[in-house]
Structure 1
Amino acid sequence: MSIEARLKELNITLPDAPAPAANYVPFVQSGNLVFVSGQISANENGLITGKLGADLDVAAGQAAARRCGLALIAQLQAAIGDLDRVVRVVKLGGFVNSTADFTDQPKVVNGCSDLMVEVFGDAGRHARAAVSAPSLPLGVAVEVDAVFEVK
C-alpha cells in the first residue's frame, strides 16, 4: 500500500509544511538522509502551548507530539515529493516542555513515535531521544526533529 493510501485509510490529512521561524531551513538532504528541523506542537487552532506536569497531562502531551509528527511528515513530503521514497525513519529527537519533577517524557514523545509506525509500518520504527526542557520556543508543549532515510 502506498503511503498516500495509508494516510487516507488512517483518515490523516497532513498540514501544510510550516515555514521556518528563524534563520534556518526546514530540511537538509545529505546523501540518502533527510534531516528535518524541529517541528513545534501546533494544530489548526494555533500553537499547542503549556508545560507538562503543570498545565497539561500525558494524553495532551501525546496529542501535541502527534501534531509535531504530522508536521515532520509534511516537511518530509515537501523535501522529497513522494513519501513512498521513505526507506526508514532513522531517529526522532523529542523535547518536552515540562516541570522539573515530570518524568514521563518518553510517554509524551510516543505520540510522535506511534504516528511514525502507523504511517510507515516497520520502516517507522526508529532510534529516539525524549528529554525535558524548562521551556520551548513560543511556549509550545513539544518539539520534535527527525532523520529519515530515502531512496
Structure 2
Amino acid sequence: MSGNIEARLAELGVTLGDATAPAANYVPSVQVGDILFVSGQISIENGEMITGKIGADLSVEQGAAAAKVCAINLLAQVKAACGGDLDKLIRVVKLTGFVNSTPDFGDQPKVINGCSDFLVEALGDAGRHSRSAVSAGALPFNVAVEIEGIFQIAE
C-alpha cells in the first residue's frame, strides 16, 4: 500500500525496504493503544552494516548519515507494524539514539540529528519529537548508531 508518506519519501529518493527481523530474543515493535514502541534499529543499509566508532573510525558527518539510515529502518518497522499502511503514522513521539563513540567524543546530538532532520524533512511537523542522544562504548555488531523510537499511530 502506498500513500502520502511514501510519496514524500519517494520525492526524497527513499524507498523503504522490508523491516528487518530481530537479531535476538525480542520483537521488532509493541503496540499499546495508539502508541507503537519500535526496538532499536541499527545502521544497516542494503544488508551492509555501517560500523565503527565515531571520533576514531568515522566522522560526525558519517555518523549522521548512519543515523539517517536508522530513521529509514525505523519507518520500515512502523510500516510493517501498521500492516503496510505507513499513513497510519500520526507522529514521532520520542527517539533514543545511541552513538558508538570514543570516550572523549561529545557531539552525539549532531550525529543523531541525521535521524531527526530526516524525519522532520519527510514528515513535517509530525516528525518533530523529543529525544535523547547518548554515547555507547560499544554497540551490537560494532554498528555506528542504534536508534529506538516511540510513535503515535492510528488504531
Q: Who is 1:15 aligned against?
A: 17
Q: How does 1:2-151 map to 2 (within 5 A)?
A: 2-44=4-46, 46-80=48-82, 81-151=84-154
**Deviation digits for residues 96-137 of structure 1 (CA, Å, limit 9, x no counterpart):** 000011000000000110111111110100000000000000
The one-letter code sitting in structure 2 at the alignment partner of 1:14 is L
Tell me how far 1:82 sits from its aligned partner: 1.3
Identity %: 63
What is the aligned length?
A: 151
CA apart distance, 1:2: 1.0
Task: Give the partner amino acid of 1:109.
Answer: I
Shift of 1:10: 1.1
TM-score by length of 1: 0.97
Q: Return the offset for 1:141.
A: 0.4
**In the alignment, residue 88 of structure 1 is paired with which amino acid?**
R
CA distance in 2, matches of 1:45, 1:25: 20
- Give the drift of 1:15: 2.1
CA RMSD of aligned residues (A): 1.0
Which runs of no fewer than 5 residues in structure 1 stay unpaired?
none
- TM-score normalized with structure 2 length: 0.95
| 3-state SS, counterpart of residue 93 of structure 2 | strand
Runs (4+) of structure 1 exceeding 6 A deviation are none
State the distance in 2 between where 1:41 and 1:4 align: 21
Higher mean displacement: 80-89 or 101-110:
80-89
1:45 deviation in Å?
A: 5.2
